[in-house]
């Protein structure tokens, strides 16, 4: 097995997979990989809807090799952090505020016990939750990186306003925990390729299947109607007048015109409103998971993040 695949398909030596108990007793599955010796700082990485820690081990290894201690956790209700409805295949939440509380609580503990500067990196839904936590002043990192962030969701062919009314209504009549569709990330024909929504790198895409076959408990299927209603409400809230303008930490935003899962227009709007934010959109040849894309895309993503973090370290 090539060395890069071994990195993606094994927990790194020196890393710890454990549990952190939240204030209400809920156990979150956590990842901690400290640097021994000279350390540049600490990164807290949070993935998207349906993600789990193992999907990003390759990126963790890249950042760790640069001197960054790495932490992450599976969001409540996915990965190995339990489920929020009886159907373990359905991704559900009643209110994204639950995740904001978890993030704020974990961040406080992590910041108190890890070396600075403290960087938060969020992919997709994780990006939205980190941005909301910044808007609400629930976390105070030294810098933040947003990768294909879910600053808004796509609801084609239904207009967003109609979708908001529909999903909210279905939730109110007792269908909140019902799956919104049969597939995973988005509604699609049975023969549609899930991979093309995520990455053009077949080997990296196969890593996810390798992990879920090894541990089927990692699998999460489609979102619930309740999740969709909560997602629309939460993303709309971060676009309130004055909300983004109050965020003062250094920010890097990386998106792609090839994204078919999150709103590209919302990413551009946020970048325009966040004073001083660094921003880059890849062309349509890159799909949603740019950290798991082909080497030429992924290497550029890592290079931009490294340059940004270098500037953050130099300011201290």
pLDDT in tens, 118-153: 999 999 999 999 999 999 999 999 999 999 999 998
State how beta strands 41-46 and 278-282 pair: unpaired
Residue 314 phi/psi, 5° resolution? -65, -20
Distance CA 179, CA 92 (A): 9
Binned at pLDDT 50, 70 and 90, residue 174 comes out as: confident
Strand (E) or helix (H) holding 253:
strand 251-256
| pTM of the predicted protein model | 0.95
The pLDDT, as a whole number, for residue 5 is 85
Q: pLDDT class for 183, splitting at 50, 70, 90?
A: confident
Find residue 19's DSSP bridge partners.
29
Q: Which two tokens stand for residue 233?
A: 């409400």
Domain boundaries along the sequence of the chain: 3-314
Name the pLDDT band for 189 (thresholds 50, 70, 90).
Answer: low
The span from the CA of 216 to the CA of 277, in Å, is 39
Pairing of strands 16-21, 27-33: antiparallel
Least confident of 42-56, 173-187, 266-280: 173-187
Q: Is 143 helix (H, G, I), strand (E, B) or coil?
A: strand
251, 276 in Cβ contact below 8 A?
yes
What's the pLDDT at 169? 81
Binned at pLDDT 50, 70 and 90, residue 190 comes out as low
Strands 27-33 and 68-73 come out as antiparallel
**Predicted confidence band at 305 (pLDDT cuts at 50, 70, 90)?**
very high
pLDDT of residue 191: 58
Class of domain 3-314: alpha beta
């Amino acid at each position: 097995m090539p060395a890069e695949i071994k990195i993606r398909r094994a927990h790194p030596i020196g890393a710890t997979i454990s549990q952190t108990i939240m204030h209400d007793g809920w156990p979150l599955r956590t990842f901690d990989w400290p640097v021994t010796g000279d350390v540049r700082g600490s990164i807290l990485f949070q993935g998207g809807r349906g993600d789990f820690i193992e999907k990003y081990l390759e990126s963790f290894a890249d950042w760790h090799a640069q001197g960054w201690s790495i932490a992450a956790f599976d969001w409540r209700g996915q990965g190995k952090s339990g489920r929020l409805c009886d159907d373990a295949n359905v991704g559900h939440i009643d209110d994204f505020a639950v995740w904001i509380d978890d993030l704020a609580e974990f961040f406080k503990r992590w910041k108190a016990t890890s070396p600075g500067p403290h960087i938060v990196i969020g992919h997709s839904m994780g990006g939205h939750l980190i941005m909301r936590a910044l808007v609400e002043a629930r976390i105070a990192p030294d810098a933040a990186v947003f990768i294909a962030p879910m600053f808004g969701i796509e609801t084609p062919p239904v207009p967003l306003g109609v979708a908001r009314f529909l999903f909210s209504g279905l939730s109110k009549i007792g269908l909140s925990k019902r799956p919104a569709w049969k597939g995973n990330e988005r509604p699609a024909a049975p023969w549609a390729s899930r991979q093309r929504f995520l990455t053009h790198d077949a080997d990296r895409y196969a890593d996810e299947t390798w992990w879920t076959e090894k541990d089927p408990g990692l699998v999460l299927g489609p979102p619930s109607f309740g999740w969709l209603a909560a997602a629309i409400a939460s993303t709309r809230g971060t676009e309130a007048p004055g909300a983004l303008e109050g965020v003062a930490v250094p920010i890097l935003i990386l998106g792609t015109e090839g994204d078919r899962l999150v709103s590209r227009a919302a990413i551009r709007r946020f970048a325009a409103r966040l004073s001083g934010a660094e921003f880059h959109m890849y062309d349509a040849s890159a799909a949603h998971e740019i950290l798991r894309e082909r080497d030429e895309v992924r290497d550029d993503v890592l290079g931009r993040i490294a340059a940004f973090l270098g500037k953050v370290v130099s300011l201290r």
